[in-house]
């Protein structure tokens, strides 16, 4: 009787619905019968904001001067390490030349105080600082290699430019007119030209090859071929080591002559045949070295005593061993640092003074080289030149050089969305959650992103508290623009392969939800089925219990979101 009543009521409802639909000209849709299925529910939190390009920098020169050249144009794509602009560097190069001269003076002062037997000059001697510049280039190439391995391409490019400058300086010291004129001679017996100093000619050729390799590596970096540049740099370092060995053999560096024994022992009344190769001169700092060795001996005695005692622990024994090692290192340092005193009889105070002067001069040289690099602007990352604020021959004074933008560079491939989330939803959002971003200017394009920042402080706008968030967008082939308005759906929950029904099928109130399950479609009979709901979004709700996959339910044509308490 009950089923008949339900059927009758249902028939009446259907007839009423059809009748109303006919009267209203089908202005309202009829309920639908749908099958319960499994699916995925994604719960999101909305965020509104604008697109931003965080890798943006306004590059300025590090020193006043005259703009010599601009190497890029607006809209040009550049890679990290590319030379963008350059000032006239005449003043800086003169300062380096002056600093180099001071280095040479300091070296000469040291050389003049050393016994002539320890010096072995060839007939036509190159500048005394040629090897110094090659060694500095080696250090700079080593740093460039580390920067390339770390992905710091701008720093690598800067070190390469310094190394190239040092090698050019060494090359010019060898290739001076006085030496060049003496390199080539003429053998009257053979009737042909000969090379008087083949080693110097070879050094000039090797330096030319080293400079060509560095120029090639610079080009590779500016083109973004970093792996190729890294491989070429390994070869350049190896080849520069060969150059260094040759230049060192020709340089004015202080070294012990092979003729020491012959020279000095003969002066002391001994023959070259019986000479030992050592000069009979006192060592003024022997007592200091011996004092350190005596401390080593005392420490070793303490170690022996400690090993015999049961109370001696490993920490105490390790400490004593470290003290002994330290004392040995100090004694060795004194002996190595004062080898020239032993060879030439120079007093310790004078030697340290000359060495200090040399260190100061080399420090000044390094500082002026850094000043030279301030005349150039290198790209700190891959990007697009969006503006150029200077032109050739512009004068940058000491008052405006640090504030006037020379090149405005933007990395258009790195895009973020700066948005806000309502305080009601902020605790659902976590760093690392995925997001779907829609740009208002591109409504049909879905961009993928990830939450990278959530502000701990909210801002009140028109009475509503909102929290700033940052969403990093994944790379896309679409050329995005900074400042575009966008909205994002931050995915806070994902429920996969669950039983789900449209929200329009759910009736009742929190704690008493139910759906209409079709028992017999032909007879249009249904039953009220209580259900327990789980996750819910704007369209669907998860059914934890009460329904099975494949059952059919009634779905109303229009219905607002189901009120929930979860």
Domain residue spans in the chain? 1-28, 47-53+411-493, 79-275+352-373, 286-337
Percent of the chain with pLDDT over 70: 74
State the pLDDT at residue 162.
Answer: 85
State the pLDDT at residue 287.
Answer: 55
Q: What is the dihedral of CA 66, 71, 75, 78, to 10 degrees?
A: -120
- In the structure, how many helices (H) and strands (E) does the chain have? 13, 24
Q: Which residue has the higher pLDDT, 556 or 563?
A: 556
CA distance 227 to 343: 49
Exposure string of 29-45, with b = 16+ CB inside 10 Å and e = fewer, is eeeeebebeeeebbbbb
**pLDDT(499) > 60:** yes
56: part of which helix (H) or strand (E)?
Answer: strand 56-59
- Contacts of 17 by beta carbon, 8 Å cutoff, 6+ apart: 30, 31
Per residue in 393-432, pLDDT (tens digit) is 999 998 888 889 999 999 888 899 999 999 999 999 999 9
Query: Which range among 236-245, 287-296, 390-399, 425-434 shows the weakest confidence by mean pLDDT?
Result: 287-296
State the pLDDT at residue 387.
Answer: 92
Q: What pLDDT band is residue 338 in, cutting at 50, 70 and 90?
A: low
State the pLDDT at residue 395.
Answer: 92
**pLDDT(489) > 50:** yes
State the pLDDT at residue 385.
Answer: 93
* 12-40 mean pLDDT: 57
Residue 270 in 3-state DSSP?
coil
Q: What pLDDT band is residue 196 in, cutting at 50, 70 and 90?
A: low
State the pLDDT at residue 103.
Answer: 78
**pLDDT(61) > 80:** yes
**pLDDT(24) > 50:** no
**pLDDT(21) > 70:** no
Q: Hey, which of 134-138, 177-181, 488-492 has the most confident mean pLDDT?
A: 488-492
CA distance 450 to 484: 18
How many other CB atoms are found less than 10 A from the CB of residue 46?
13
State the pLDDT at residue 186.
Answer: 57
**pLDDT(434) > 60:** yes
Residue 320 Cα distances to 59, 301, 307, angstroms: 55, 10, 11
Q: Which residue has the higher pLDDT, 11 or 360?
A: 360
State the pLDDT at residue 15.
Answer: 34
State the pLDDT at residue 417.
Answer: 94
DSSP character string of 79-114: -TT-EEEEE--HHHHHHHHHHHHHHHHHHHHHHHTS
Q: Is the pTM of this model over 0.85?
A: no
Tokens read off for 316:
């105490």
79-275+352-373, which class in CATH? Answer: mainly alpha
Query: Which range among 30-44, 182-196, 266-280, 510-524 shows the weakest confidence by mean pLDDT?
Result: 266-280
Q: What pLDDT band is residue 64 in, cutting at 50, 70 and 90?
A: very high
Tokens read off for 368:
């002026």
Tokens read off for 77:
């794509």
Residue 309 Cα distances to 153, 298, 312, 323, 360, angstroms: 58, 17, 6, 19, 51
State the pLDDT at residue 207.
Answer: 93
State the pLDDT at residue 110.
Answer: 65
Residue 151 in 3-state DSSP?
coil
226: part of which helix (H) or strand (E)?
Answer: helix 226-250
Q: CATH number of 47-53+411-493: 2.40.160.10, 3.40.50.970, 2.40.30.170, 3.40.50.620?
A: 2.40.30.170
Percent of the chain with pLDDT over 90: 28
* 69-98 mean pLDDT: 90
Q: With contact defined as beta carbons under 8 Å apart, do 424 and 464 qualify? A: no
Residue 559 in 3-state DSSP?
coil
């Amino acid at each position: 009787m009950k089923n008949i009543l339900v059927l009758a009521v249902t028939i009446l409802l259907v007839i009423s619905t059809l009748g109303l639909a006919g009267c209203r000209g089908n202005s309202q849709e009829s309920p639908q019968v749908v099958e319960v299925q499994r699916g995925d529910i994604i719960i999101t939190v909305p965020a509104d904001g604008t697109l931003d390009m965080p890798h943006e920098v306004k590059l300025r020169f590090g020193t006043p001067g005259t703009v010599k050249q601009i190497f890029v144009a607006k809209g040009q794509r550049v890679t990290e390490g590319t030379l963008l602009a350059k000032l006239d560097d005449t003043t800086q190069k003169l300062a380096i030349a002056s600093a180099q001269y001071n280095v040479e003076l300091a070296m000469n002062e040291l050389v003049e105080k050393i016994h002539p037997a320890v010096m072995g000059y060839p007939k036509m001697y190159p500048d005394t600082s040629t090897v110094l510049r090659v060694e500095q280039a080696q250090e700079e190439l080593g740093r460039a290699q580390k920067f390339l391995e770390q992905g710091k391409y701008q720093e690598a490019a800067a070190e390469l430019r310094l190394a190239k400058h040092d090698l050019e300086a060494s090359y010019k010291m060898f290739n001076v007119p006085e030496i060049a004129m003496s390199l080539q001679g003429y053998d009257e017996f053979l009737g042909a030209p000969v090379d008087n100093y083949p080693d110097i000619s070879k050094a000039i050729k090797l330096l030319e090859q080293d400079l060509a390799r560095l120029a090639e590596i610079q080009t590779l970096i500016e083109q973004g071929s970093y792996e190729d540049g890294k491989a070429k740099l390994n070869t350049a370092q190896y080849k520069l080591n060969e150059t260094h060995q040759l230049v060192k053999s020709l340089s004015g560096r202080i070294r012990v002559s092979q003729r020491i024994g012959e020279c000095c022992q003969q002066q002391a009344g001994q023959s070259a045949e019986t000479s030992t190769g050592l000069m009979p001169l006192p060592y003024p700092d022997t007592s200091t070295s011996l004092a350190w060795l005596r401390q080593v001996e005392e420490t070793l005695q303490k170690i022996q005593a400690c090993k015999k005692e049961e109370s001696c622990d490993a920490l105490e024994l390790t400490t004593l061993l470290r003290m002994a090692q330290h004392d040995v290192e100090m004694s060795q340092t004194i002996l190595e640092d004062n080898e020239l005193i032993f060879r030439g009889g120079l007093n310790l105070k004078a030697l340290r003074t000359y060495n200090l002067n040399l260190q100061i001069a080399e420090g000044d040289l390094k500082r002026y080289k850094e000043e030279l690099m301030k005349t150039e602007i290198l790209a700190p990352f891959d990007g697009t030149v969006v503006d150029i604020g200077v032109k050739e021959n512009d004068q940058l004074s000491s008052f405006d050089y640090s504030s006037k933008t020379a090149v405005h560079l933007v990395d258009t491939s790195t895009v973020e969305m700066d948005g806000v989330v309502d305080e009601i939803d902020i605790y659902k959002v976590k760093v690392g959650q995925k997001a779907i971003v829609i740009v208002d200017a591109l409504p049909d394009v879905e961009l993928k992103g990830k939450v990278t920042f959530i502000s701990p402080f909210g801002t009140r706008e028109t009475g509503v508290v909102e929290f700033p968030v940052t969403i990093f967008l994944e790379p896309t082939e679409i050329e995005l623009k900074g400042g575009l308005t966008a909205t994002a759906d931050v995915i806070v929950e994902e429920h996969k392969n669950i039983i789900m029904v449209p929200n329009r099928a759910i009736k009742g109130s929190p704690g008493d939800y139910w759906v209409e399950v079709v028992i017999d479609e032909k007879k249009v009979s249904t039953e009220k089925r209580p259900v327990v709901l789980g996750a819910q979004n704007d369209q669907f709700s998860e059914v934890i219990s009460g329904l099975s996959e494949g059952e059919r339910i009634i779905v109303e044509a229009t219905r607002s979101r189901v009120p929930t308490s979860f």
